[in-house]
């Protein structure tokens, strides 16, 4: 979908019965998707960070990997660096047209990007996006369908607990409150202050 197609009300993309979540089908074109994939898989090997014991569900492969762009989160704050142009050229005009980051007082556009690679059936345990990603998070799916499961915070004995690893451990109900299916090239957007559930990602 080109930029001109985004000249209408963001509310048309609102997910029914979900507070302040938006789903945009074909957020990027097939050509833009392929350009992203070409760039992602042409970066130097050290740019990939391998994460152990992060995947769940079908394949039981115990590692995934990611790329970190825009800075490194530390205990003292984000050590910022500019995002590469290949990440921003096709997406930033669409973000601006839709006003996805209008609630961000300091940054009116994204300032950080994590690229997570999952094989079919892999995923990540439920977690919360930390304060560095406040107030808005956007997920764009590439090459595959993705299921996002959202869990409510624990206020009951009917829950499960995760171990304290990489800040991804807390308590949450053992059944998702709701799930979203993202088609390839689509996007999902949510303000963190309005949708404070735990979420996990799984690739089909």
Torsion angle (degrees, nearest 10) of CA 181, 148, 189, 137: -160
% pLDDT > 70, the chain: 71
What pLDDT, on a 0 to 100 scale, did the predictor assign at position 34? 97
User: Of 88, 101, 167, which Cα lies nearest the Cα of 134?
Assistant: 101
Q: The tokens of 152 are what?
A: 């409510």
pLDDT band at 12; cut points 50, 70, 90: confident
% helix, strand, coil for the chain, step of 5: 20, 30, 50
Q: How many domains does the chain have?
A: 1
What pLDDT, on a 0 to 100 scale, did the predictor assign at position 160? 47
**150-182: pLDDT as tens digits:** 877 765 444 444 443 444 445 666 778 888 899
Contact 105, 42 (CB under 8 A): no
Q: How far apart are CA 28 and CA 35, in angstroms?
A: 11
pLDDT band at 120; cut points 50, 70, 90: confident
What pLDDT, on a 0 to 100 scale, did the predictor assign at position 173? 61
**What is the pLDDT of the chain when averaged over all its residues?**
77
% pLDDT > 90, the chain: 31
Q: What is the pTM of this model?
A: 0.78
Task: Compute the residue count for the chain.
Answer: 204
Residue 127 per-residue DSSP state? B
Q: How far apart are CA 3 and CA 95, in angstroms?
A: 10
Q: Report whether pLDDT(202) > 70.
A: no
- Domain CATH for 109: 2.60.120
96: left (phi over 0), alpha (psi -120 to 50) or beta: alpha
Pairing type for strands 198-203 and 146-151 reads antiparallel
**22-77: pLDDT as tens digits:** 899 999 999 999 999 999 999 999 999 988 755 555 444 557 899 999 988 777 87
Task: State the residue range of the domain holding 118.
Answer: 3-203
């Amino acid at each position: 979908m080109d930029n001109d197609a985004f000249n209408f009300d963001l509310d048309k993309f609102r997910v029914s019965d979900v507070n302040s979540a938006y789903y945009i089908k074909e957020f990027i074109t097939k050509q833009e998707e392929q350009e992203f994939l070409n760039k992602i898989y042409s970066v130097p090997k050290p740019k990939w960070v391998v994460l152990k014991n992060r995947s769940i569900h079908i394949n039981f492969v115990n590692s995934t990997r990611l790329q970190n762009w825009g800075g490194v989160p530390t205990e003292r704050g984000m050590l910022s660096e500019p995002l590469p142009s290949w990440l921003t050229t096709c997406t930033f005009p669409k973000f601006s047209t839709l006003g996805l980051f209008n609630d961000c007082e300091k940054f009116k556009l994204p300032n950080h990007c994590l690229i997570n690679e999952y094989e079919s059936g892999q995923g990540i345990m439920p977690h919360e996006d930390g304060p560095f990603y406040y107030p808005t998070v956007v997920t764009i799916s590439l090459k595959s369908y993705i299921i996002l499961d959202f869990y409510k915070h624990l206020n009951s004995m009917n829950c499960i607990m995760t171990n304290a690893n990489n800040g991804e451990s807390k308590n949450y109900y053992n059944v998702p409150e709701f799930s979203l299916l993202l088609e390839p090239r689509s996007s999902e957007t949510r303000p963190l202050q309005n949708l404070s559930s735990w979420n996990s990602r799984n690739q089909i």
